[in-house]
Structure 1
Amino acid sequence: MRKLKELISINDRGMSIVMIVAITILLPNTVLKGLGIPSGAKACLYDVYIGVGIYYVSRLLIICALFYILYAQRYNFSVMMITRHKHIYDIWKRCVKDLAILSVAISVYIYIATTIAGICIKRKICNWEDETSMCYSVIHMPCELTPSFLLISIVFILQTFTIIFVMGLIMLAVWWITDK
Structure 2
Amino acid sequence: MKLSWRADILGKVLFAKFQVLDKPHTYTVGITSRCVDGKHVLFADWDGVSEKIVRWDISCIIKEFELSDCYIFRSGNGFHMVCLDKMPFADVVKVQGHTCCDYAFRVALQTFNERSWVLRVVKKGDNNAPKFIGVIRGSGKREKSLAHATFLNKYYGVGVDTNAGVWDTENDICFIKYMTSKCKKGEHNG
Question: Scaled by the length of structure 2, what TM-score is found?
Answer: 0.27
Q: Is the radius of gyration larger for structure 1 or structure 2?
A: 1
Q: Which of the pair is proportionally richer in helix?
A: 1
Question: Scaled by the length of structure 1, what TM-score is found?
Answer: 0.29
Q: Which of the pair is proportionally richer in strand?
A: 2
